[in-house]
Chain A
Amino acid sequence: SQTIHQWPATLVQPVGSPLSLECTVEGTSNPNLYWYRQAAGRGLQLLFYSVGIGQISSEVPQNLSASRPQDRQFILSSKKLLLSDSGFYLCAWSAGPNYGYTFGSGTRLTVV
C-alpha cells in the first residue's frame, strides 16, 4: 500500500533562518506531488505541485521554493524565513488527474 511521510511534525525557527521540509511517498511510482499551506482556521492554499522529477509549478509568488530531486521525494525550502511563513504545511500525492489526494500528517511551522 502507498504511504506518505512528512517531517518534521513541528518546527520553530527564527526569522531569517533557512527552511527545509521533506516529504516522501512509498509504494507508488511517478506520483503527482503537492505542497499546501494552511493558516490557522483557514483553507488550503496550494503552493507548489510537481508531475515529475525536476518539474515544479509555483502557484503563489513568495519566499518559498520547492524541489523534486527524486521521483518520490518533494522538498519545500526557504533561504530566509519571514514571520508570515508561519503555518501548517501539508504534502500530498495523487496518482494523476482526477485521482484523490492523500495528505501527509503536516508540519506546524512557527517563525519567531
Chain B
Amino acid sequence: GENVEQHPSTLSVQEGDSAVIKCTYSDSASNYFPWYKQELGKGPQLIIDIRSNVGEKKDQRIAVTLNKTAKHFSLHITETQPEDSAVYFCAAFPGGYQKVTFGTGTKLQVIP
C-alpha cells in the first residue's frame, strides 16, 4: 500500500519568514495530493491540493509543488503570520482507491 512520510514533525519560524513542509510517497500510481490545516481542537481543513498532471499550484501565500519523478511534494507558506500556527497534514491518493494515506503531521509555530 501507499506510504507517506512527512518532515519536519515540528517547525518554528519568525513571523514574516517562509515555511516549507515536505512529503514523500511510495506509490507511483498516486495522483492527487491535498494539504490540510488543523487548528487546535478542530477538524482538518483542506487548504490546497494538486493533481499529478500539474507541477505547481499557488493560492495567495500558499503554494504546493510536486515532483513525480522523485515522488515528493511540498507545501510552501510565505510571509507567515501567527494565524498560520497549526498542524499541517499532507496526503496521497493512490488513484482509484477509496481511502487516502495521510502524513504524520507537522506542527508549525509562527513566532510573532
- The answer to whether the Cβ of A102 comes within 8 Å of any Cβ in the partner chain is yes
Nearest residue, chain A, Cβ from B97: A97
Residues in A with CB closer than 8 Å to B31 are 98
Q: In the complex the two chains form, is B43's CB within 8 Å of A106's CB?
A: yes
Contacts from A to B (Cβ < 8 Å): 6, 32, 34, 42-44, 46, 49, 51, 57, 59, 90, 92, 96-106, 108
Q: In the complex the two chains form, is B43's CB within 8 Å of A103's CB?
A: yes
Contact of A43 among B34, B95, B104 (CB under 8 A): B104
- B-side interface residues, number (CB < 8 Å): 25
A3 to chain B, nearest CB (A): 12
Residues in B with CB closer than 8 Å to A98 are 31-32, 51, 93, 95-96
- The answer for the CA separation of A101 and B90 in the assembled complex, in Å, is 12
Nearest residue, chain A, Cβ from B45: A103
Nearest residue, chain A, Cβ from B30: A98
